[in-house]
Structure 1
């Protein structure tokens, strides 16, 4: 894992993940506008993924020329699984869950991603887990602190520290409207079982978190066998976009769903270039350096970034709960980063000791 979080590129990877969360925060604001005017979720994802693939493929072809390992059958299955979980399942379940609930529900479930990722990575052996060591205890504590910070931001509002006390994020709860009509056929079976739409929405949002966690956990070992990160991201989007486009063809009944307005084109350009091609490229590269558990810990920063961007561009206020939650998230990230740094130091000390202990002859 190239130092497992330390080294010359470690600070760049941390900065990249913070940038990714800022772009994802902007994505939430932009997508609300597109979905509010009635754009079909699957069509939106299909255009977004096709655009991302068209950006990633030529760049990966040039950047990774001569450095790409041969593609085997097992790698193709791994690419398919990454596209299925990280692109198709992750994006679609999030938008479906958002349609049946509201942005507050969607934001409340995102802190589950680092928890699920930590569990998956530990089961797969990607993340070291020894409950008797201080480093593992600190990683668990840091994860809990980070998730708690996100929970504080979502539960506690507090007084307004900046602005006039208006919060556009709360008004956004009513933006989703009747988006569920686009996928009513999909949920009819669950509705017959007695579940309400919000129950289905929460299940979809939790499925979104599981998909993203599985994507990050599997991507780490795949990167060891296929270290060309840009090409790996392009292959992931190839299968994700293919699955999304096929689903769009079979599930949309009206050709008008594929006709876009100006605001929808802007949303797709932002989602396809920034929150897809650039963000997933940075996530893959950072995963190779930091590991899946630490990469996932940046997800709770999304509500904080959304609040800051809303304050800067939409005139929303910043409340005390956002400041306290953001402080806890940063503290949690620091604890996990420091624990990973200590693990790497101990690992290098043990390696040096083993080399010195070996006989010269």
Structure 2
């Protein structure tokens, strides 16, 4: 009876306290991104340059989170060493500059449902990078290792399916039916650096949709690298909001320099439409300011795999909103690819759960295992653990 009460207590503990706050934060992040995709796609279709959009977005985000970080994390910030500064620089380039640029380019050439579905590949890239960096461990001879390997392969196949195969339209209308080649080139130039990269890819026989898909794959890799690099950075600089502000500052500086070099007309920096202004404000306040801060905070407490596990919800939110508001088409290839990615994702999560149970039973010593309930053990420790780990410890606030 006491054992049963203990199990009930453990289940209730997962629904309250720190664990509930982390999971509620991640749910809020994915809903925010779902709305962001729809608004951003509308702005890109309206001719807003991707660098202009990203610069304004990050300036708005900085104006909101810098004061918040300054007043709320005075006791958490540590001196910036050379190694910490280099990590922050890399985080700003991968997680802000490249991630935003590649995503906006991919969104401009595809649609909201496809862009959101491709984000499901982020957990796979996150997991692969974690394995290479020895943050995750694969035991190939055990069921948990096999589940992880099969899950990774399924998700990779799903990503390539979405990139290379469109298939028939299940819902919505074909956007190319009423669009001329000249109109497509105008859209390409408005979202690319004077159409240079688009022209280069088109010369190799790659169409607009495939260019967008490749940009989104690269975006997923950048996000996977960003999530994993946050772990060593947060150990040295345990102030998540301040870290987010510094990363956005680095990324915004790179975006501004690139935008000034590539956007030749001053009129491109003027947002004439009220809808575009609303999209930029929402992107800065929610997609950058709120979401990046919440993700960094959740990553500090639950690990990169927990953060990535919630990303499939973007497909549900943005796909529904895009279909209802923008009448975006839904292709058969997107459905097949997304299903494979989701299958792979949950095989990986299941494998991690098996690994965690084996770790508790066999006292395995692994660097870190990001499971759906990692809030029972602090991710950031004062000293390296050797031997058995205390899974009943309370996370630091």
* TM-score normalized with structure 2 length: 0.72
1:314-334 CA distance string (max 9 Å, x none)? 799999979x95996996586
**CA gap 1:145/1:174 in 2 versus in 1, 3 angstroms:** farther
> Hey, what's the Cα distance between the residues in 2 that align with 1:80 and 1:127?
24
Give CA-to-partner distance per residue, 1:184-229, whole Å, 9 cap, x none: 3431672485343434333322211111111111112211221111
Deviations 1:273-314 (A, max 9, x none): 111111111111111122212322322221111134457777
Report 1:225-264 matches (<5 A).
225-260=236-271, 261-264=273-276
Match of 2:295 among 271, 276, 283: 283
User: Aligned to 2:95, which of 72, 86, 94?
Assistant: 86
8 A contact 2:231–2:300 mirrored in 1: yes
**Greater relative contact order (CA < 8 Å, ≥ 6 in sequence):** 1
Report the secondary structure of 2:194's partner residue: helix
Q: How does 1:60-79 map to 2 (within 5 A)?
A: 60-79=69-88
Structure 1 residue runs of 5 or longer lacking an equivalent are 1-5, 159-164, 356-361
User: 1:170-185 residue pairs with structure 2 within 5 A?
Assistant: 177=184, 178-182=186-190, 183-185=193-195
Q: 1:354 to 1:21 in 2, by over 3 A?
A: closer
Q: Cα 1:152–1:231, aligned 2, differ >3 Å: closer, same or farther?
A: same
Task: Give yes or no for contact 2:120–2:342 (8 Å, CA) kept in 1.
Answer: no
Task: Give yes or no for the alignment of 1:187 onto 2:202.
Answer: no
Deviations 1:47-71 (A, max 9, x none): 0011111111110111101221111
Residues 1-361 of structure 1 aligned to structure 2 (within 5 Å): 8-103=17-112, 105-140=114-149, 167=172, 177=184, 178-182=186-190, 183-187=193-197, 190-191=200-201, 194-198=204-208, 199-260=210-271, 261-310=273-322, 335=350, 338-339=353-354, 342=357, 345-346=360-361
1:162 maps to none
Asked whether the 8 Å contact 2:34–2:314 carries over to 1, the reply is: yes
Q: How many residues were matched structurally? A: 343
Matched residues in 1 for 2:364 and 2:198: separation? 59
Q: Secondary structure at the match of 2:75?
A: coil
C-alpha distance in structure 1 between counterparts of 2:61 and 2:268, whole Å: 20
Stretch moving more, 82-91 or 190-199: 190-199
User: Shift of residue 99 of structure 1?
Assistant: 3.0
- CA 1:307/1:150 → structure 2, altered by over 3 Å: closer, same or farther? farther
Distance in 1 (CA, whole Å) between partners of 2:278 and 2:177 is 22
Show the counterpart of 2:374: none
Compare 81-90 and 294-303 and name the one that shifted more.
294-303
- How many Å separate the matches in 1 of 2:158 and 2:248? 32
Q: In structure 2, do the counterparts of structure 1 residues 17 and 153 end up closer, same or farther at CA, with 3 Å as the change threshold?
A: farther
Distance 1:189 1:210 in 2: 24
Q: Deviations over 1:65-93 (max 9, x none)?
A: 12211111111111110010001000101
Q: 1:26 to 1:145 in 2, by over 3 A?
A: farther
Scaled by the length of structure 1, what TM-score is found? 0.78
Q: Is the 8 A contact 2:155 2:342 kept in 1?
A: no
- The answer (yes or no) to whether the contact 2:146–2:351 under 8 Å persists in 1 is no
